[in-house]
Structure 1
Amino acid sequence: MKTLLIDVDGTLIDSYPGIRASFLHSLDQMGHPRPGEDVLSRIAGPPMELTMRSIGMDPDEARKAVEIYLRHYGAGSWADADPYPGMRELLVRWKEKGFRVCTATSKGERFARKSLERYGMIDSIDFLGAAEENGARRSKESVIAYVLDSLDLRGTESDILMIGDRIHDFDGAAAFGIDAVACAWGYGDADEHARARWTATNTRHLEDIVDEWNEQG
């Protein structure tokens, strides 16, 4: 059985509106200046504490900011999102084709589950690989390691494909020798996409890439 590791934010779900609202709320509560739209447009995807550090917060400030962010996000911003057209149906088809379908997301496990339940995707997921909101499993590499270890997949990396939209997805997969597909509809740019083996322009193209990868293996 071949395994698909699928990112959530920017790949299955456009969750930027809710992430943006909670991010700005956190900055306002911390008295930290708001960055420009060029920075805001890049906040979805990476672990939030890394994003807070990238705009000048020290580690203690970043931890406090993330706590504020999570409270606000959990109060309702998590639902300010939309599934990308065609992705729910594609998950169903992948299951019908016999793939093991897992997530590998830097989103906290509670919010990942709530989002996938809300948009009717959770029933197509065999294993929910997600970050810990209050724990060491935060980076994409650590999430992928968690999936591999939980499902005893070490040594089968050639039969695993990562599907995501940001550099963290592609570099995280590369750390284990796993190939990746970039989803052009997400939050990454062309330079980030270049770090993946393939780039899918739409869901049909993504399905074709996965079928080709499966046949080649």
Structure 2
Amino acid sequence: MNAPLVLLDLDGTLMDSAPGITSSVAHAYRALGIPVPDDATLRTFVGPPITDSFPDHGVPPERTAEAVAAYREAFTAGGMFDNAVFDGVPDVLRALRDAGCTLLVATSKPEVYAKPICDRFGISDLVDGVHGAPLDEGTSTKADVIAAALAAQGRRSPVEPAEGPVLMVGDREHDVHGAAVHGVDCLGVSWGYAPPGELERAGAVAVVDEVPALAPAVRELLSAAL
């Protein structure tokens, strides 16, 4: 049997990346001459593919590529590093590794950004790999990212429990839905960017409210799957 595998979302789960993302999104709206959404709406951009979020919030579909280009202009100029690891997350990752878990970041953020961000903030040293979307996010879903992470570990989809337990940890509904495609449960975290009740409605197996409780919750769910 393989070691227990834990797939970890990045934005809103391991890192508070809202400042850099929301400021870059606001820049894109201003560049297009479209009114900038309110702060609550801007926060909903954190997590899902940016190519989905712009047309969902007032950007005409034919201008989505223009909006993405303007967003990335600000994001690569510094917004991508305007974030921070949530307090206690490094301790959680160390505890899970000490418990024998394989840890993989699985994020909808383009991998070309996710890897240097994880490198800059020390996440890469605490996990066994970083998997993200292609630069053209519109061609990828969270399920696709999870598929790549599973394949990198030689895991099949749907996941075969006899090969070792697998668990997703995330803060938005697309984490739950993407994991479900592969027969994987998702443990939600409430310190991210989901509106109240989103994770529960999506079918998260449980929701953790405090970072120190995450490692014990992950271990309990993995043990129950053995």
Matched-pair contact (CA < 8 Å) for 1:157–1:176: no
Corresponding position: 1:132 with 2:134: yes
Which shifted more, 206-215 or 152-161?
152-161
Give the aligned partner of residue 35 of structure 1: 37
Q: Secondary structure at the match of 1:94?
A: helix
Matched-pair contact (CA < 8 Å) for 2:186–2:205: yes
Matched-pair contact (CA < 8 Å) for 1:19–1:77: yes
**1:100–1:137 Cα change, 3 Å:** farther
Give the aligned partner of residue 180 of structure 2: 174
1:38, CA displacement in angstroms?
A: 2.8
CA RMSD, Structure 1 to Structure 2 (Å)? 1.5
Q: Distance in 2 between matches of 1:165 and 1:183?
A: 5
Give the aligned partner of residue 185 of structure 1: 191
1:103, CA displacement in angstroms?
A: 0.9
1:42, CA displacement in angstroms?
A: 1.2
Q: Secondary structure at the match of 2:168?
A: strand
Matched-pair contact (CA < 8 Å) for 2:104–2:128: yes
Give the aligned partner of residue 208 of structure 2: 200
Q: Could you tell me which amino acid in structure 2 is paired with residue 123 of structure 1?
A: D
Corresponding position: 1:215 with 2:196: no
Q: Distance in 2 between matches of 1:186 and 1:13?
A: 9
Which shifted more, 23-32 or 54-63?
54-63
Identity %: 32
Give the aligned partner of residue 162 of structure 1: 168
Corresponding position: 1:111 with 2:117: no
Corresponding position: 1:84 with 2:90: no
Deviations 1:110-150 (A, max 9, x none): 22112211221101221211111136653211111111223
Aligned length: 217
User: Normalising to structure 2: TM-score of the pair?
Assistant: 0.90
Matched-pair contact (CA < 8 Å) for 2:49–2:138: no
Which shifted more, 23-32 or 190-199?
190-199
Q: Secondary structure at the match of 1:69?
A: helix
1:97, CA displacement in angstroms?
A: 1.5
Q: Secondary structure at the match of 1:190?
A: coil
Q: Distance in 1 between matches of 2:102 and 2:73?
A: 33
Corresponding position: 1:44 with 2:46: yes
Q: Distance in 1 between matches of 2:49 and 2:60?
A: 15
Give the aligned partner of residue 61 of structure 2: 59
**Match for 1:16 among 18, 32, 39?**
18
User: Normalising to structure 1: TM-score of the pair?
Assistant: 0.94
